[in-house]
Homo-oligomer: A and B are copies of this chain.
Amino acid sequence: LASGVPVVFEPQGKKLEISSGITVLQSAIEAGVGIRSECGGKGICGKCKIAIKNADAVSKVTKTERKILSQSEINSGIRLACQTKIQRPVTVMVLAESRFGSSRLQVLGLERKAKPNPSVKKFHIVMPKPTLFDATPDFERLLAASAKCRPNDDLQIDHELLKTLPDSLRGSNWDVTVTLHDNKIIAIEPGDTTAEMFGFALDIGTSKIAGCLVDLRSGETVATGAIENPQVIYGEDILTRITFAMANKTNVKTLQKLAVEAANKVLQSSGKVDVDSNKIYEVVVVGNTAMHHFFLGIQPKYLALSPYVPAIKRSINLPAKELHLKVNKRAITTILPNIAGFVGADAVADVLTTGIQESKNLSLLIDVGTNTEVFLGNSEDVLCCSCASGPAFEGGHIKHGMKALTGAIEKVRISSEIEVEYETIDDARPGGLCGSAVIDVVAEMLRNKIINRFGRFDSKRKIERFKRSNDVMEFVVAESAETATGKDVTITQKDVNETQLAKSAIYTGCSILMKRKNIEKKRINRVFIAGAFGNYLNPGNAKLIGLIPDVPTEKIRFVGNTALSGAKSALISKKMRKKATQIANSVRYLELANDPDFNFEFSKALLFP
């Protein structure tokens, strides 16, 4: 079975070759990818749903599948893994619902307290009925009654809402609740509905789409949800997706549709609490600049071509309906502003949450991802850059790397006797290494001199856990007997080198910012590390491998997904929203590619400290 057709499983990123004609489910078992299958592959339970990008690569939809899948699912390329036979090279997207265990993607990071003062407001009014002596037109009657609640506002009404205004006012016996977004009337509901006022914060990440449902009155999070970004089927990294989008306008729409559908799924999963989606009046969105363009259906081509220019910097408001988000039909979608081509609204949200631009203290903020954004500064000035750190810290480009899902090894210690201890997410049998474990392993190997400063394996040492595969050195972290896949989970010479490239990119960003602002590391008061892996990261190990500058550990804070937290704070507070615009306008961007010291700093940082 080990030759022939290449198959890639996403989001796990598992690759293998199989012989033509076996089912996706069999291949998944082969690859150690967990797919639910309660009926044992009989096509009855419908639990093993997957998405196939290229329908031609697999067998045709069977009658059995037609009984289980909706036409809409079939049109979207959804199949049952147990019924689908692989014929040609294919990428299989395992749907979240079909995966074993639950994803441990952290949804909300550090939150910043903000007094609720959302753009969305509600007020309940009762109007006098019209008479021949007071035939004030309906809308002006509504305005007159509203004036008691909103004395200084010139309220605007949407045309579609105006069309039904005469019937809706009479149908509710002139007793309604008006919902505003700023000065725009977006809903007129019968009776008093002021108690139900919700919003949604959304973080469109390259690999993950996360959201939280918020009670706009209290500012409290009601529910959270996250799923893999289904765009991964068109490329794990941003550049591949942009290349796909560049081919034609349909592709831009395809990527937009995938992002929106995923956002709707997050909305639905969050909506399992008892909240009517019609009572969600605003969606605040952040994402990196490419995700921003994809989500809005803007041609992203020029983000990928020098000089990497985004279409827009400023915040955008548009009807949620235009994006087909499943919320109130007149809800508003607000996209927070971008800073530069590689520093998007998600990074603005990071700065907003950590408040580094409001403090006199000097802070360093690092949001680790495929692109890592680094900010350095304080209330006087903040300078930022973007580092092409690659996916190593998200488990990508690492032989046994995986995302922070159930079964991922997240912490590793290696004793001086080269004994390995590890912890996995949900205490499941290990399936691979997530980002924090990669850092731990590399740091522990360095500490125990298994690798040297250049990252080279000390192949002369007699270490039981060493093995060779195709003449490449590997270090076994979890042995086949312990793992979910029945295969060793290892770290290879190449994995160590990938980690060096990634940490070097980030460190270079930090050091060039320090140079350009003429700041020595001892003057840095705080280091914020954001990103999905943040909370599990060992700061000592991060310093040890030279991922971050060597500052006292007590100055380091892991803040998690501050992008979503920042979106949430902009959702509940107009003041925070205004700050987001100030951040986008005031933070200075440094293009590393232009910096004369970049190459020197980068090659210097490649070595371990």
Report if A162 contacts B (CB, 8 A): yes
Closest to A312 in B: B139
Provide the main secondary structure of the chain A interface: mixed
**Please, what's the 1-or-0 string for A271-309, where 1 marks a CB less than 8 Å from any CB in chain B?**
000000000000000000000000011110110001111
Which residues of B lie under 8 Å from residue A133 when comparing CB positions? 591, 594
Residues of B within 8 A of A165 (CB): 298, 311-312
Contacts of A164 in B (CB 8 A): 299
A167 surroundings in chain B (CB, below 8 A): 299, 301
Determine if A311 and B139 form an interchain contact, defined as CB atoms under 8 angstroms apart: yes
Q: Are A140 and B306 in contact (CB under 8 A)?
A: no
B contact residues around A134 at 8 Å (CB): 307
| A159 close to B296 (CB less than 8 A) | yes
A314 on interface, CB distance cutoff 8 Å: yes
Q: Give me 5 other A-B pairs in contact (C-beta within 8 A), A139-B313, A163-B298, A167-B299 excluded.
A: A132-B591, A133-B591, A137-B338, A163-B296, A166-B301
Copies of this chain held together in the complex: 2
Q: CA–CA, A192 to B536, complex, Å?
A: 58
A302-B170, A307-B132 known; A312 and B594 CB under 8 Å? Answer: no
Among A124-180, those with CB < 8 Å from B are 130-141, 157, 159, 162-167, 170
A424 to B463, CA, bound (A): 114
Which residues does chain B contribute within 8 Å of A340, judged by CB atoms? 135, 137
Task: Pick 22 A–B contacts, CB within 8 A, sort by A.
Answer: A131-B307, A132-B593, A135-B307, A135-B309, A135-B340, A135-B341, A137-B309, A137-B311, A137-B313, A137-B338, A137-B340, A138-B311, A140-B314, A141-B309, A157-B312, A159-B316, A162-B316, A165-B311, A166-B298, A166-B301, A166-B309, A166-B311
A138 & B309 in contact (Cβ 8 Å cutoff): yes
Q: Does A220 count as interface, using CB distance less than 8 angstroms?
A: no
Flag if A139 contacts B314 (CB, 8 Å).
yes
A395 at the B interface (CB under 8 A): no
Bound-state Cα–Cα, A594 to B591, Å:
74
C-alpha spacing A298/B164, complex, angstroms: 7
Query: A239 — which chain B residues lie within 8 A by C-beta?
Result: none
**For the complex, what is the distance from the CA of A20 to the CA of B487, rounded to whole Å?**
90
Q: Does A318 contact B (CB under 8 A)?
A: yes
Interface set, chain A 511-533, CB cutoff 8 A to B: none
Asked whether A296 and B162 contact (CB < 8 A) given A170-B302, A307-B130, A314-B140, the answer is: yes
CB of A566 within 8 Å of the partner chain:
no
A residues 521-568 touching B (CB-CB < 8 Å): none
A-B complex: 3 closest residue pairs judged by Cβ atoms: A139-B312, A137-B313, A132-B307
Complex interface: chain B residues within 8 A of A591 (CB) = 132-133, 135
Task: For the complex, give the distance between the alpha carbons of A322 and B314 in Å.
Answer: 26
| In the complex, A310 has a CB within 8 A of chain B | yes
Residue of B nearest to A591 (CB): B132
Scan residues 307-339 of chain A and give those whose CB is less than 8 A from a CB of chain B.
307-314, 316, 318, 322, 338
Cα distance A470–B147 in the bound complex, in angstroms:
63
A120-B314 Cα distance, complex, nearest whole Å: 24
Interface size on A, residues (CB 8 A): 46
Are A309 and B163 in touch, CB under 8 angstroms?
no
Are A136 and B309 interface neighbours, CB within 8 A? yes
Asked whether A298 lies within 8 Å of B162 as measured between CB atoms, the reply is yes
> Would you call A297 and B132 a contact (CB within 8 A)?
no
Inter-chain contact B131/A312, CB cutoff 8 Å: no
When chains A and B are docked, how far (Å) is the Cα of A194 from the Cα of B341? 32
Contact A163 B338 (CB under 8 A): no
Contacts of A302 in B (CB 8 A): 138, 166, 170
Residues of B near A298 (CB, < 8 A) are 162-163, 165-166
Q: Shortest Cβ distance from A455 into chain B, in angstroms?
A: 31
Q: Which residues of chain B have C-beta atoms less than 8 A from A311's C-beta?
A: 137-139, 162, 165-166
A 374-431 contacts with B by CB, 8 A: none
On chain B, the residues within 8 Å of A137 by CB distance are 309-313, 338, 340
Which of B141, B159, B309 is in CB contact (< 8 Å) with A318?
A: B159
B297 near A163: Cβ-Cβ < 8 Å: yes
Which residues on B sit within 8 Å (CB–CB) of A166? 298-299, 301-302, 309, 311
Identify A140's interface contact among B130, B139, B297, B312, CB under 8 A.
B312
For residue A593, which residues in chain B have a CB less than 8 angstroms away from its CB?
132
Q: How far is the CB of A319 from chain B (nearest CB, A)?
A: 9
Q: Write out the residue numbers on chain B whose beta carbons fall within 8 Å of the beta carbon of A308.
A: 135
Smallest CB–CB gap between A373 and chain B, Å?
15
The answer for the CA separation of A307 and B594 in the assembled complex, in Å, is 72
Measured CA separation A241–B595 after assembly (Å): 72
On chain B, the residues within 8 Å of A162 by CB distance are 296, 298, 311-312, 316
State the CA gap A137–B307 with chains docked (Å): 10
Nearest residue in B to A129 (C-beta to C-beta)? B307
A132, A135, A301 interface centre (most CB from chain B within 10 Å) = A135
> A163-B296, A299-B163, A301-B166 are contacts. A310–B138 as well, Cβ < 8 Å?
yes
Is B309 touching A130 in the complex (CB atoms < 8 A)? yes
* A162, A165, A301 pick with most chain B CB within 10 angstroms: A162
Please give the distance in Å from A395's CB to the nearest CB on chain B: 31
**Complex: chain B residue closest to A142, CB-CB:** B312
Assembly CA distance A139 to B309 (angstroms):
10
Q: Per-residue CB proximity of A432-446 to B under 8 Å, as 1/0?
A: 000000000000000
Closest chain-B Cβ to A185's Cβ sits at a distance in Å of: 12
CA distance A133 to B310 in the complex (A): 14
Question: What residue of chain B has the Cβ atom nearest to residue A154's Cβ?
Answer: B314
Residues of B within 8 A of A136 (CB): 309, 313
Q: In the complex, what residues of B have CB within 8 A of residue A341's CB? A: 135
CA distance A159 to B335 in the complex (A): 12
